Structures are given as structure tokens and as C-alpha cells.
Amino acid sequence: MTDVAKQEKQQEYQDYVKHVTPTHNLFLNMCKAFVTGGAICVVGQFILNRCDAAGLDRETSGSWCSLILVLLSVLLTGFNLYQKLAKFGGAGTLVPITGFANSVAAPAIEFKKEGQVFGIGCKIFTIAGPVILYGVFTSWAIGLGYWILKLCGVL
């Protein structure tokens, strides 16, 4: 192959790469992330306000808000809607608690067909799973120990 043919082939390849590479508008992506993250926060604030109106204290309201946002995120992940929202909103969906819940639920749902142990049990450990799994297990174990000590009259 001559140098001219190599250069033409290389130019042809670079043109192809330029054609298939998606272009991104940074300002538009930032606006989408801001709107998406803001919408999630508005939903959270709505939940907080409803809990306050129901007479719950601030700490309990915050707990309910977190639980409901995680539940909504997992439901949206299960119905394959969170991925579409994330594609639109980018980092706006990753930062709030909903992004964390999605990062735990998505691998479990994806590998469900491989079974409870080798599918969900193993793949839930990808990304954020260990934090939630060990956090929940540790809080359960400490709570059980506290309950037993209280029954024995130690505490």
C-alpha cells in the first residue's frame, strides 16, 4: 500500500469516527441534570411537607422521605423507567438517594434469571450493594443483640 492510499484510508476512518461519535452539548446536559435532580428534590420536599402536615417530627419525616424515594427509585428501576430518566438527566439522577437505590436494584434485577444465590445474591454486590447489605445486616444484628440484652435485664 502506498503512503497516499494509507493516508486516504486513515482520513476515511477518521471521517467515519467523527460521523458515528455522538456530540454532546455541555450546557444542555447541565440544564437537564439540574432539572432532573431538582425534580427529584421537589418530590422529596413534597413528601417532607406531607409528613410534617400529618404531624410527624422532622426526623421521622426525613426517614419516611428517604424510604419513599428509595421505593420509588426501585420501582422505576424495576419497570425500566429509571434508566430512561438517567439517560435524559445524567448526573441529576445519580447524586440523590434515588441514584444509590438504582445502583443497588439494577444489578439484582439484571441477573435475576441466574437464580437467587448466583444471580441476585452475587450481583447485588456490584456498585453500591455492599454498603446497603452490610449496613442493614449490621443494624439488624446490633438491634437483635440490644433486644436480647434488654430481655435479660442487662440494659
Every domain of the chain and the residues it spans: 20-124, 128-155
Q: Do residues 142 and 136 touch, judged by C-beta distance below 8 A?
A: no
Question: What contacts 104, CB < 8 A, 6 or more positions away?
Answer: 124, 127, 128, 129, 132
Location of C-alpha cell 494509507: 6
Task: Name which of 36, 46, 48, 52 is nearest 96 in CA terms.
Answer: 36
Q: How far apart are CA 39 and CA 92, in angstroms?
A: 9
| pLDDT, tens digit (0-9, with 9 covering 90-100), for 129-147 | 677 778 888 999 999 999 9
Does residue 1 register a pLDDT over 80?
no
What's the pLDDT score for residue 60?
Answer: 95
